[in-house]
Chains A and B, each alone.
Chain A
Amino acid sequence: DAGVTQSPTHLIKTRGQQVTLRCSPKSGHDTVSWYQQALGQGPQFIFQYYEEEERQRGNFPDRFSGHQFPNYSSELNVNALLLGDSALYLCASSLVLNTEAFFGQGTRLTVV
């Protein structure tokens, strides 16, 4: 079992650009959640996808959007990047009826 995998591991973007991050959930899991973790802070919930729809959303602007594919993998898109978007972006997968969630290793995004 490969667990939760994320790509890329590191990314450097320029302010104003757009970025797409990818996540493959743990085998058998159907729900994907995305979190943003600023340096020295706990992860902050961005949104959650189940059955290819956004089910829950945290306090993040519309610049943050996502998608879930039929194979349960997911993408996080961020438009008009700001310096403050620099963070570790984490993907967590779970079964919708089970709250136990497993995280990937994250994508370190640096906006310059």
Chain B
Amino acid sequence: GENVEQHPSTLSVQEGDSAVIKCTYSDSASNYFPWYKQELGKGPQLIIDIRSNVGEKKDQRIAVTLNKTAKHFSLHITETQPEDSAVYFCAASPSNTGNQFYFGTGTSLTVIP
């Protein structure tokens, strides 16, 4: 089955700096890659996603890039703010598994004011 690896596990940045989280996947059938933000005591919140026919997608301060050849995708957060502090998860969904998501192990992001 699909295997998603995520790095780093923890990340601390100064407010206003950029943060980058990287994920790799193993199954070439994966064609949908969402990113979720999870705050303490809450469920994961979808923040951005990308499909395999697109190389990059941006939504305000958040962007995601996908390299299908290398099987890796990344989340970029610019101008970080303290409210960006949370655990971020990447996920991959193979096209032949319906809507089944394989998640990475998460990155705990701390934005220092």
B is a partner of A:
yes
A interface, CB within 8 angstroms of B: 4, 6, 31, 33, 35, 40-45, 48, 50, 55-56, 58, 90, 92, 94, 96, 99-106
B44 in the interface (beta carbon within 8 A): yes
B93 is an interface residue with CB less than 8 A from chain A: yes
Number of A-B contacts (CB under 8 A): 68
* Complex contact B44–A43 (CB within 8 A): yes
**A104 and B43 contacting across the interface, CB-CB below 8 Å:** yes
Task: Report yes or no: A96 in contact with B99, Cβ–Cβ below 8 A.
Answer: yes
B73 within 8 A of A: no
- Residues on B with C-beta less than 8 A from A56 are 97-100
Contacting B42 at CB < 8 Å: which of A42, A101, A105? Answer: A105
Interface residue count on the B side (C-beta < 8 Å): 25
Determine, out of B11-19, B58-66, B101-109, the stretch whose residues face the partner at the interface: B101-109
Which among A45, A94, A104 has the highest number of chain B CB atoms within 10 Å?
Answer: A45
B43 touches A105 (CB 8 A): yes
- What is the bound-complex CA distance between A45 and B99, given in angstroms? 10
- Asked if residues B43 and A101 are in contact (CB atoms below 8 Å), the reply is no
> Are B101 and A43 in touch, CB under 8 angstroms?
yes
Chain B neighbourhood of A43, CB < 8 A: 44, 89, 101, 103
B93 to chain A, nearest CB (A): 6
> Can you give 15 contacting A-B residue pairs, CB < 8 Å?
A4-B43, A45-B100, A45-B102, A56-B98, A56-B100, A99-B32, A99-B34, A99-B93, A100-B34, A100-B49, A101-B46, A102-B46, A103-B45, A105-B42, A106-B42
Point out the residues of chain B lying under 8 angstroms from A48, CB to CB. Answer: 98-100
Q: In the complex, A42→B99 CA distance in Å?
A: 16
Which residues does chain B contribute within 8 Å of A103, judged by CB atoms? 36, 43-46
Q: How far is the CB of A59 from chain B (nearest CB, A)?
A: 8
Distance between Cα atoms of A92 and B89 in the complex (Å): 15
B93, A42: Cβ atoms under 8 Å? Answer: no
- Of chain A, the residue at the smallest CB distance from B49 is A100
